[in-house]
Amino acid sequence: MGRKSKALFQKAKKLIPGGVNSPVRAGRAVGMDPRFISRAKGCFLWDVDGKRYIDYVCSWGPMILGHSHPKIVKALEERISKGTSYGAPTRLEVEMAETIVDMVPSIKMVRMVNSGTEATMSAIRLARGYTGREKIVKFEGCYHGHADSLLVSAGSGLATFAIPGCPGVPADLAGHTLSLPFNDLPRFTEAMEKHGPDIAAVIVEPIPGNMGVVLPDMAFLKGLRDLTAKYSALLIFDEVISGFRVSPGGAQELYGVMPDLTCLGKIIGGGLPVGAYGGRKEIMQSMAPEGNIYQAGTLSGNPLAMAAGLATLKELRKQDVYDELEEKSAKLFSGLEDAARAAGLSVVVNRVGSMGSLFFKDKAVTDFATVKASDAQKFRRFYADMLGEGVYLAPSAFEAWFVSTAHDGKSIEKTIESAAKSFAILSQGRQTGQVREKFR
């Protein structure tokens, strides 16, 4: 860890809980302190000590075109001199809504918010108000933000820190949330047979990305759709991560399963804070001021976020972008798998489009239980090696890797070569010791 990052972290810990504004960033799961980032361009980050990294965090997903993409920068430059926030409607909000409705198959009406957490929280409130019911169903390891109702058996940060729930969440509120194993249709069927008439909504990441990437079973997704319809519950797809990343219309377009409501975020802000929820018109019209279910936000539809998001989505409407992402992602993840095999190391690679994960285990990863059975110690050593080689990964085994259009052949080859070195060490059971800092 460089001198400047170390000094900043020591200062931050005196001022900010844990020294970070989002828990996983602290790096405790990998036994390392965080690097403080000073700038980014293309597929690279630079920390305050001048070290360059190939970035596979991509701000946890939204930088699908890479950092500081010229068209996004231009869009922001053109907007910022006109003011940063009005607290009033703008033409950009209408253009964003029109674009989302056009691209996402199930959305006929949409509302902007400021984060993925706001989107899922609002969608749950809407579902409860619309159905007149209180209970919801979620799935173990799926993270839907930090709203109280959704922190039961969640993935992402809670999984990283092995927190089984969250202090501060009232027990009676948690009692309205049923948490079931992902990809387990028999368990879901049983739960709906018992609680179906009381269920307001079933919320799911159709492609989980917060316990690492887990591939959905098609029978499971179709079963969710069929059974929610049978019991008049709403099906909510949390596509905050998968939306626009795996296809122009997200996982629902890729798999052909249409939810009642969809939550979006990340990419539609082009890297700025944003979220959205939308769905069938008759449901969305229940929101105030058209209906009586309340949700509001001063910064919702912020003109800077809308400008950056529109510039991003304009690029993503070009099919060759997804062809390019598929080619690069396939090269990266197949290369990682081949390198591990060559070293005699057992790994599981799960990938959908430009999001994927590498698990240190020898059996399929299909749910939260099998995710947790992967070798966390091997990941810690792998993470340290890769960081020393100048490859920046999420500091947790329970997160996804993201590929952008800015990742070129050279950076991908470098990543595979660096991984091969680490795999060779891991296969021999050696400790990696200190991170090998290579400044350039």
Report, as residue numbers or ranges, the catalytic residues.
143, 238, 266
Q: 31: which 2 tokens?
A: 């036994």
Is-contact 110 101, C-beta < 8 A?
yes
Is-contact 189 220, C-beta < 8 A?
no
CA atoms within 13 A on the CB side of 324: 14
Measured between its terminal Cα atoms, the distance across the chain in Å is: 14
> What does the DSSP assignment read for 24-40?
GGG-GGGT-PPPPEEEE
Amino acid letter, 362: D
Q: 310: which 2 tokens?
A: 């529109």
Could you count the other beta carbons within 10 Å of the beta carbon of residue 324?
16
Q: What is the DSSP letter of 287?
A: B
What's the CA gap between 275 and 65, in Å, rounded? 18
Total residues belonging to the chain: 440
Quickly tell me which residue has 């529109």 as its tokens.
310
> What does the DSSP assignment read for 58-123?
GGGTT-TT-BT-HHHHHHHHHHHTT-S--SS--HHHHHHHHHHHHHSTT-SEEEEESSHHHHHHHH
Could you count the other beta carbons within 10 Å of the beta carbon of residue 17?
10
Amino acid letter, 345: L
Is-contact 396 29, C-beta < 8 A?
yes
Angle, CA of 152, 158 and 162, to the nearest 5°: 105
Is-contact 122 277, C-beta < 8 A?
yes
Is-contact 245 61, C-beta < 8 A?
yes
In what side-by-side order are the strands of the sheet with 52-55?
37-41, 44-47, 52-55, 391-392
What's the CA gap between 381 and 221, in Å, rounded? 35
Report which of 384, 372, 336 is spatially closest to residue 357, judged by C-alpha positions.
Answer: 336
Q: What is the radius of gyration, based on Cα positions, of the chain?
A: 21
* Cα→Cα distances 205→14, 309, 324, 396, Å: 36, 22, 25, 19
